[in-house]
A and B are shown apart, each in its own frame.
Chain A
């Protein structure tokens, strides 16, 4: 347990004591209007153009304003029809033909049709498109397999891929695949990101810089008008202030509640909502040099770290212990038979002795914070203590997030033996394909910063990407997980359980495994 956590807890405890002592005096709560949901966001959005943004924070707004051709079925990460009513995949897996939903219009009144879909993907992918300069489009590579997209007729669109690419459908369900109004892009140009128009359950009203983004119900929504009249997204970057706003009734819902603050929301006035997501928090081990070149030492590290204590004590139950490289949220592809490495310091000592290394000294890169990194400093310190208890000699080096990425992504060789990392993805293909293949070494443009290389895993991942049957893909991913767990190129630590808190006036709200925030069924009294 490090000083930082202790102080923060002491502060929170002191604060609570103070709170209790004065709460007897408190008058009636400041009321927010019924039917209007006020959401505390973690930051000001970058833009409301789905093709231009990368942050989960922005996705939370976008998913309520736009629709994609497909979407994730509620409570799962499997795709179901949205703006496309059905689709056909050619036998070789390279041609996808979508039939579009009739009678849908964008919020600006222009019709949704095949030409609109073509416009969206051409804008993102074709450098010569007249509106390509409304970018940049940083996640356009999600669709880099798309060779052409054409309108077969008014309501039919055909995508031709340069090679079979199984994650294509789930990438279409990702925010980067949301469909914007071509008319609005033509009218607004570079300002489209601040004046968005889609087909979603809510339509954009206004964006007051650094204050709020307001959206209101779209009464003509094809999937039924939402229950709420309007939603207001407020950016509140400081976590403590966000908690204070929630407690004082200034907002009705907040996401990403800090673990230490969860206890503030026990009781009838609030509801805590939780959902495990497609996230994995792990330690990259350097397999090119140093002690972790030996599989026994890597396994020893997996046994030595008390993951249960990490998720329950440090993260206060806001994460679950990870068993392998694939998060259980990908239920269809997850290998249920995997058991996490148990906490067994004696076994770790045995393995170290068997490997013939005594007190291996390792450098450990820790970040101060970053997307999906949970509580990296406190976790890093706890991990250091666990490893030292079995004989490792661990030196921590801490870096600010962007600096950290600049050191870890180019590869750990000559830098460190071990580094923290976390990924949130939308398809079981993404993370292993980008971070566990031989062809994904950093010098080849991938994220395999620890230089894990197993030809068997390479073959499984290649086949899984091109297989068209989901059952076959699932089989391949399960096999891959078992091998990777045994090889232990990483220490598998945690899967984030995302949380949100709502006031008791909010009903029908649940979090999705995709980590998107869907508000069309929510009621506020």
Chain B
């Protein structure tokens, strides 16, 4: 294990992550300090007299010079203490981890959904170019790309929760009853679908063009000439070749789904990280915003390192 970490390439990547995270911590701290409105005003509301604000700021530790506040925060964070949220009155890290988990479930499901549906739609479309299936799919895909996901979400709630009562309108778990996988799926179905629609459309369109490209190539003609039946040509030979250009698109869409989750989390009251950050910013819950952003950034940096390291094992030329 130690030898693995001491591998110069990995070590270099890990060291280079440090200034990135420090920079992010400075930026998010500065933004929260610079935007107008402070937590004491947000907490006191109507009663925010200068006197009351000053007294509360002192209690919250916000009366110290900014630089000192930053280093206190950074120092605590390096020891694993992200502080306590003013607005939720609980440790920032507990809240962030719980919320991150919910976002992963939502975005992960959506990502799987949009990958499978998008690729199938793209392949079927390409295999029947200009046929009725192609036209129908192209139409639906355009519609999907054009509808903002939050609006679609609201319409889904209206139709499937309010009128048909097939699914619950919001939340992640039932208020009563067991918290099993079926209860989760029941709550997850609508938000996951709403979140995946746009990405499905994008993936479908790009899969279609990738497939069309491949289907024109010689080896496809050869396969057909050998007598491989059409389904085999499309799904085995062509799709495998097209995946090379589809996979990078999936990577981009994964990021898109994760950021799009913010809107869906608000509409469906999904207890995820995006909704947490929106609420925290409106309440000027400084430590929660800072802790949340640094956590997300750290995850992002970490996953990037993992991907790079994995690639370096697959393709030794990258290790430079």
Contact = CB atoms under 8 A, between A and B. Distances in A.
Interface in A16-45: 18-19, 22-23, 25-30, 32-33, 36, 38, 43-44
A209 B98 contact: yes
B56 A136 contact: yes
B28 interface: no
A28 B166 CA distance: 10
Contacts of B162: 19, 244, 247-248
Contacts of A238: 266-267, 269
A47 interface: yes
A234 interface: yes
A525 interface: no
Given A194-B90, A244-B170, A445-B50, A209 B269 contact: no
B46 A241 contact: no
A241 B158 CA distance: 9
B47 A138 contact: yes
Given A33-B176, A52-B89, A371-B46, A136 B59 contact: yes
A209 B271 contact: yes
A409 B48 contact: yes
B165 A423 contact: no
Interface string B223-258: 000000000000000000000000000000000000
Interface string B155-172: 101110111110011111
Nearest to B102: A210
A52 B86 CA distance: 10
Contacts of B50: 409-410, 442, 445
A211 B157 contact: no
A135 interface: yes
A250 B168 contact: yes
Interface stretch (A70-78, A340-348, A399-407, A474-482): A399-407
B184 interface: no
B266 A248 contact: no
A504 interface: no
B316 interface: no
Give the dominant DSSP class at A's interface. loop
A241 B165 contact: no
B85 to A, nearest CB: 9
A139 interface: yes
B95 interface: yes
B89 A135 contact: no
Give the dominant DSSP class at B's interface. helix
A236 interface: yes
Interface string A390-420: 0000000000111101110110000000000
A236 B175 CA distance: 13
A245 interface: yes
Interface string B49-90: 111100110011000000000000000000000001001111
Nearest to B271: A210
Contacts of B37: 400-403, 405-406
A105 interface: no
Contacts of B155: 15, 18
Interface in A222-236: 232, 234-236
B165 A237 contact: no
B10 interface: no
A373 to B, nearest CB: 11
Contacts of B99: 210
Interface string B6-32: 000000000000000000000000000
Interface of B: 35-38, 40-52, 55-56, 59-60, 84, 87-90, 95, 98-99, 154-155, 157-159, 161-165, 168-173, 175-176, 266-269, 271, 275, 279, 282, 284
Interface of A: 15, 18-19, 22-23, 25-30, 32-33, 36, 38, 43-44, 46-47, 49, 52, 54-55, 135-136, 138-139, 141, 190, 193-194, 208-212, 232, 234-238, 240-241, 244-245, 247-250, 370-372, 400-403, 405-407, 409-410, 423-425, 434, 442, 445-447
17 contacts: A18-B159, A19-B163, A22-B159, A30-B165, A43-B279, A211-B171, A212-B175, A234-B175, A241-B170, A247-B162, A248-B168, A371-B45, A402-B42, A402-B282, A406-B38, A409-B49, A423-B46
